[in-house]
Amino acid sequence: MERSTKQRAAIRDALKAADRPLLATEVLELAQRAVPSLGIATVYRTLKALVDQESLQVVELPGENPRFEFAHGHHHHFYCRDCGRVYDVHACAGEFVDIVPAGFVVKSHELTLYGHCADCQGHAVA
Amino acid sequence: MERSTKQRAAIRDALKAADRPLLATEVLELAQRAVPSLGIATVYRTLKALVDQESLQVVELPGENPRFEFAHGHHHHFYCRDCGRVYDVHACAGEFVDIVPAGFVVKSHELTLYGHCADCQGHAVA
DNA sequence: ATATGTGCAAAGCATTTGCGGAGAT
DNA sequence: ATCTCCGCAAATGCTTTGCACATAT
Domain ranges of chain A: 6-70, 73-126
User: Considering only CA atoms, which of B56, B58, B63 is closest in space to residue B114?
Assistant: B63
Which strands sit side by side in the sheet containing A67-70, from one edge to the other?
Answer: A22-23, A67-70, A56-59
Is B104–A78 a contact, with Cβ atoms under 8 angstroms apart? yes
Check residue A91 and give its pLDDT: 87
- CA closest to C1' of C14 belongs to A65
Which letter, b or e, does each residue of A85-105 get, where b requires 16 or more Cβ atoms within 10 Å of its Cβ?
bbbbbeeebeebeebbeeebb
pLDDT computed for residue B122 by the predictor: 67
Rg (chain A; Cα; Å)? 17
Mean pLDDT of chain A: 93
pTM: 0.90
A88 and B CB contact within 8 Å: no
**Is it the case that residue B126 has pLDDT exceeding 80?**
no
Distance CA A3, CA A22 (A): 24
pLDDT-derived band at A122, boundaries 50, 70, 90: low
Facing residue for A115 by CB, picked from B105, B111, B117: B105
Write out residues whose CB is closer than 7 A to strand C: A 3-6, 23-25, 40-41, 44-45, 48, 65-66; B 1-3, 5, 7-8, 35, 37-39, 41-42, 45-46
Question: Comparing B6-70 with B73-126, is the CATH topology the same?
Answer: no
pLDDT tens sequence across B2-48: 899 999 999 999 999 998 999 999 999 999 999 999 999 999 999 99
Q: Which of A122-126, B76-80, B107-111 has the lowest mean pLDDT?
A: A122-126
Which positions in strand C are less than 7 Å from the protein's CB atoms? 4-10, 14-18, 23-25
* Distance (Å, whole) CA B115 – CA A109: 9
* pLDDT (tens digit per residue) in A33-84: 999 999 999 999 999 999 999 999 999 999 999 999 999 999 999 999 999 9
Q: Which CATH architecture has domain B6-70?
A: Orthogonal Bundle (1.10)
Reported as a single tens digit per residue, the pLDDT across B100-110 is 999 999 999 99
Say whether residue B58 is in contact with chain A using an 8 A CB cutoff. yes
Q: CATH assignment of A73-126?
A: 3.30.1490.190
